[in-house]
Structure 1
Amino acid sequence: MGKFAYDKALSVDFDDRTLAHLQIVIGMKQRRGESFYFSWKDDHAVGDGRTAIWLHPPIPLVYKYYGSRLPRIDPEWVRALEMTANTNIGLQVVDEPAGPAGGASSAPGAAPVTNGAAS
């Protein structure tokens, strides 16, 4: 389980594999100087709602991985995430595509997501 920290105000848990894919897409957008929304469905433990944040290049982001191995990157999943990031709604966590490069169709794209104030 990895952590995505946003401007010292918010810390969100994603599994390491999901977080690695999000990092790639967010990095691609920010390298181009693009600002955009990023939203996800919250876990039941934090209210089962949705959270959306505005990502802008100067806002500090931290990606904390708890596993020691780099996750396998699925280019199709990166493309699927990037497609959502290029919409008016912004980046949304979508399931990893099934198939040879993707995970099994039963494997969720996002592990339970919890958020709370960063320490």
Structure 2
Amino acid sequence: MGTLFYGSQGTPIDINDRALSHIKVVIVAKLRRGEAFTLSLQHEGSGGRSTVWLSPAIPLRFAFEESQRPELNAQWIEELAESANLLGGITLVPERLDRE
């Protein structure tokens, strides 16, 4: 399980390593361009959800449990990037394995 540490207090947000590796690509690309946006996540187990505001001015750190970076799924990154450009921001959608 990976962790996204958000804000000056370093609030931890747990996300599995594979998903975190993919959203990291999208988040870093948007922050490099100076763009602010939201990230919406479903809470595993509890059925709840959270949305956080991401901005280049807010401290952010990615921590991964696994030492090796997984092979990235370009289709999933594209889906996440498309959602990042919508009004609702990035929504962590499940990875589809049909790479057509």
Same fold, judged at TM 0.5 (above): yes
Q: Separation in 2 of the partners of 1:12 and 1:50?
A: 12
Between 52-61 and 2-11, report the one with greater CA deviation.
Answer: 2-11
Q: 1:75: Cα distance to partner?
A: 0.8
Match of residue 5 from structure 1: 5
Q: 1:9: Cα distance to partner?
A: 4.8
Point out which structure has higher relative CO (alpha carbons under 8 A, 6+ apart).
1
Q: Separation in 1 of the partners of 2:44 and 2:16?
A: 13
Corresponding position: 1:25 with 2:26: yes
Q: What TM-score does the superposition give when structure 1 sets the normalisation length?
A: 0.77
Q: Separation in 1 of the partners of 2:5 and 2:33?
A: 21
Corresponding position: 1:72 with 2:58: no
**Matched residue count:** 99
Q: Structure 2: which 5+ runs fail to align?
A: none
Match of residue 90 from structure 1: 89
Q: 1:33: Cα distance to partner?
A: 0.6
Over the aligned positions, Cα root-mean-square deviation in angstroms equals 1.4
Match of residue 53 from structure 2: 54
Moved over 6 A (4+): none
